[in-house]
Amino acid sequence: MALTITIPRPDDWHVHLRDGEMLDAVIGYTSLRFRYAMVMPNLTTPIATTDQAVTYRNLINDATPPESPDFHPLMTLYCTDQLEVQDLLRGHKEEIVEAVKYYPAGATTNSQSGGSSMMDYSHIFESMQEHGIPLLVHAESTNPNIDIYDREAAFLEQELQDICNNFPEMKITVEHISTSAGVDFVNAYETLGASVTPHHLSRNRSDMISPAFHADLFCKPVINSENDRQTLVSTVTSGNPSFFLGTDSAPHPTKAKYGKEAKAGIFNAAYGLEVVAEIFASEDKIDQLPAFTSENGAAFYGYEPSEEQLVLTREQVEIEVATHLSTQSGKEVVLFGTEEASHWTIKAKTD
């Protein structure tokens, strides 16, 4: 017997759309599923000014297929030395800039323009707190002496805790949360939220490294232990309003993923919703799916849920699904979540 649920059209509160031919190749996967998409600013040239955000938004809109008329990219600025407070305030007032993203320098793809200490940007955070501009944080220590699986917890304790205490009214999102320590940290502060990815909910570190290293599951922060995964699952399926979907979908060509140094990032925009639905169904918590995908994040950022709806149906039989996409020049990107997607169909509800 098929399982069916209708949900408001979801929002993706953390996504990498890239630019150039990669943007052209991936934008439809996000725009056809999601209403709002919080677009990350870590291009090769960081998006650090309002004018750059406008230019990038125009590129995204131009690449968006006509079948997605109600898709809205929400732009963010990179917290870097080039970020100017007055320009940020102008961009936010003109409803161009939604939030600011902080990267620790060297933590992930195109993070070399990030910071070595969050408190270096306290003058920016003061204005953000005053004007209600959210801060998005890649919470991961870059100290090589800290075990890679402990770097989220270390960053929260050594960096973000001070920011939360010094700016108690600033709205902060801990991005792509990956550990039990992260869940506890978010729950300790009323002004904090957390985006959670399909891959951190559905995979553990054994999936990534055993019996061999699977580059397609390498991301930052890394996928962590089974205990951490179970904590994330129990948290999001409980309906806790501080936790919401952010795919962190991050496409890399297979040449970059399978090279000498695997690029960090998983492309899950195609089937991320199916992966999440499968988790909620397996936990017998499918009734909590709309909160995680469509309601909690919208409320955190000050929006109403979408009036459009999607119908998700889990079929007993397997459905054939694509495993790769190709850019115009022939670069291939692996699609995450094909196993889960083979059991789900997703369609827009029509009255």
Q: Which domains does the chain have, with CATH numbers?
A: 11-308 (3.20.20.140)
Q: Could you confirm whether 248 is annotated as catalytic?
A: yes
Identify the pLDDT of residue 5: 97
The DSSP bridge pattern shows strands 344-348 and 309-314 to be antiparallel
Q: Sign of the C-alpha dihedral, residues 152, 155, 158, 159?
A: negative
Nearest-10 Cα torsion for 307, 308, 314, 318: -160
Tokens of 125: 């955070």
CB under 8 Å to 123, separation ≥6 — which residues?
A: 85
Beta strands in 48-93 (DSSP E): 72-78
**d(Cα 291, Cα 7) in Å, to the nearest integer?**
9
3-class secondary structure, 346 = strand
- State both tokens at 329: 């020049």
Per DSSP bridges, beta strands 172-174 and 192-196 are parallel
Could you count the other beta carbons within 10 Å of the beta carbon of residue 323? 12
How is 277-298 classified by DSSP, letter by letter?
HHHHHHTT-GGGHHIIIIIHHH
**pTM for this predicted structure:** 0.97
Judged by DSSP in three states, 74 sits in strand
Q: In the prediction, which pLDDT does 123 show?
A: 96
Contact 26, 333 (CB under 8 A): yes
Q: How far apart are CA 257 and CA 251, in angstroms?
A: 10
pLDDT of the residue at 305: 98
pLDDT means over runs of 10, the chain (351 residues)? 94 98 98 98 96 98 94 97 96 98 89 89 98 98 96 98 98 98 98 98 96 94 98 98 98 93 96 98 98 98 97 93 97 97 94 73
Q: Which residue of the set 12, 87, 216, 248 is catalytic? A: 248
Which residues, 6 or more positions from 91, have their beta carbon under 8 angstroms from its beta carbon? Answer: 49, 50, 53, 75, 77, 97
